[in-house]
Structure 1
């Protein structure tokens, strides 16, 4: 079965069937990642540029590992070494990269809309690895994969997304993706961290009363408090935030026995989560999410670039 997309920029452009195809393809790559030699020739000869114009550890390393395990050639580009620091325009930079006859650009940028602009300029495959406060589709897909792996289905699942909604590009992809897959989504946050047009994200409900909805949730997705993006003081103190919106050991008793905890990382321990909940052996799937990042990014590269069928099993 072919894959109808050239890019992965806006998750809302994908149907439930296409997302499930991607998740099942990710699952098929588990076997590769559990071998002693974790590499297949699926994308041998393909050239992928990792254009990270904003700092990243998890996302960048995950893409790099995914590329290596599919035998693609990688070029890492961005940061203080970029020509944009010398004044070169984005279009000139992209045209220069494309003159190398590359196949894909994976882009992370502090400005919303850059991945779409690069797709229009370059004509090559583009994956959005996070743009401003807009979207982060591969993060949403690895979150979906982790929830699917533990819950088996999305239909009728109650998911709470808790915390810094205003500054989160994760929300821009995760909430629409969960709705596409049939889940019910509740946004939980202080009023000062809920955007004015929160309805655009498509959540079923919005509340600032965490304890009232926690007993109904099958998955609790804790967002990182992005202090580096905040202006002013949206809440009195981190201690008060933790008391009102942190997932603490005291709140464990309010949760369903089989409810799971997700977090995109890195965790601000003692703010969004205390160590008891972050490391909970039965509830926390945070490390599973990290591993899922490699699987779903391998799947996205494979499907978008049309890798050879024999590459998965070689």
Structure 2
């Protein structure tokens, strides 16, 4: 994207199509914010940022809110559960209303697929994707890359296995697009009924044994509500076939790391004792989310 293109739209909707250079510049800026000596900067003083969560995620919202407050912005939190969206107001009308009131940017998370793209065409203030449908979750992937780069020194040449419900995962998609741009090899591992066939041309599906040979084993959160739909027979059976057990983790290379977007279903996709194992980077990932989101918010508003 040219500088003119960046100027024309400050929306941050996904990693698909972003160059390695653009991704790296965000990671570099996050490194600046991570070592920034004071907790609150006045970078965005006088700017109003709204967190528009039409789908709940306490963790992601807190991470964004901390990032916004550390940059000195004024923060407005909007939760669909308590709002007029429940009364039938469209997502567009809600966002347009806040834009009319004078917000400077919106961080938005929503379930319906394709709505974010439509909003971005009509809303002029920058929108930052905090998770849309099963499409993308770009800031999660960026904090994953930041964690990998910090651990390994560089991402190019690494092999990353993403394991779990690929079909419904926006984390898997954002990671796939960004990691490929950065020169890593991505492989996917999923039960047959949780594979996304359209991704097979970009990354091969491998067995769990093969997936364990990677430099990074990234486990996805199992949405246990999929029991009702018959996609998972039981949490126990999922763990048996696709959970990272202590025994499976022992087959990983000595230098390899375990990642997970959190929150973790302990003893389902990951055995309890692996969550804070020396190989696990889960809480490091969570910590890295704040500087990454500072860099992304600053980029949208600069």
Q: Name the TM-score, length of structure 2 as normaliser.
A: 0.93
| Aligned mate of 1:212, from 210, 213, 222 | 210
Q: Do 2:226 and 2:232's aligned partners in 1 also have CA atoms closer than 8 Å? A: no
1:30 aligns with 2:34: yes
* 5+ residue gaps, structure 2: none
Matching residue of 2:249: 252
Matching residue of 2:63: 62
Summarize the Cα distance change of 1:163–1:42 in structure 2 as closer, same or farther, 3 Å threshold.
Answer: same
| Aligned mate of 2:282, from 272, 286, 290 | 286
Q: Do 1:192 and 1:235's aligned partners in 2 also have CA atoms closer than 8 Å? A: no
1:103-252 equivalent positions in 2, closer than 5 A: 103-199=104-200, 202-203=202-203, 205-207=204-206, 209-215=207-213, 217-229=214-226, 232-252=229-249
Summarize the Cα distance change of 1:138–1:254 in structure 2 as closer, same or farther, 3 Å threshold.
Answer: same
Matching residue of 2:295: 299
SS of equivalent to 2:151? helix
* Distance across 2 between alignment mates of 1:256 and 1:276: 18
* Distance across 2 between alignment mates of 1:6 and 1:80: 28
Summarize the Cα distance change of 1:240–1:22 in structure 2 as closer, same or farther, 3 Å threshold.
Answer: same
Q: Do 1:261 and 1:286's aligned partners in 2 also have CA atoms closer than 8 Å? A: yes
Offset, 1:121: 1.8
SS of equivalent to 2:130? strand
Deviations 1:217-263 (A, max 9, x none): 00000001112356522243322221222111112321110100000
* Distance across 2 between alignment mates of 1:163 and 1:81: 32
Offset, 1:301: 0.8
* 5+ residue gaps, structure 1: 307-314
* Distance across 2 between alignment mates of 1:50 and 1:174: 23
1:44-123 equivalent positions in 2, closer than 5 A: 44-123=45-124
Offset, 1:77: 1.1
* Distance across 1 between alignment mates of 2:87 and 2:210: 53
* Distance across 1 between alignment mates of 2:176 and 2:195: 14
* Distance across 1 between alignment mates of 2:232 and 2:69: 43
Matching residue of 1:309: none
Q: Do 2:56 and 2:79's aligned partners in 1 also have CA atoms closer than 8 Å? A: no
Q: Do 2:188 and 2:211's aligned partners in 1 also have CA atoms closer than 8 Å? A: no
Offset, 1:214: 1.3
Matching residue of 1:311: none
What is the root-mean-square deviation of aligned Cα atoms in Å?
Answer: 1.7
Offset, 1:288: 0.6
Q: Do 1:115 and 1:127's aligned partners in 2 also have CA atoms closer than 8 Å? A: no
Summarize the Cα distance change of 1:95–1:222 in structure 2 as closer, same or farther, 3 Å threshold.
Answer: same
Q: Do 2:211 and 2:217's aligned partners in 1 also have CA atoms closer than 8 Å? A: no
Q: Do 1:10 and 1:137's aligned partners in 2 also have CA atoms closer than 8 Å? A: yes
Give the total of aligned pairs: 297
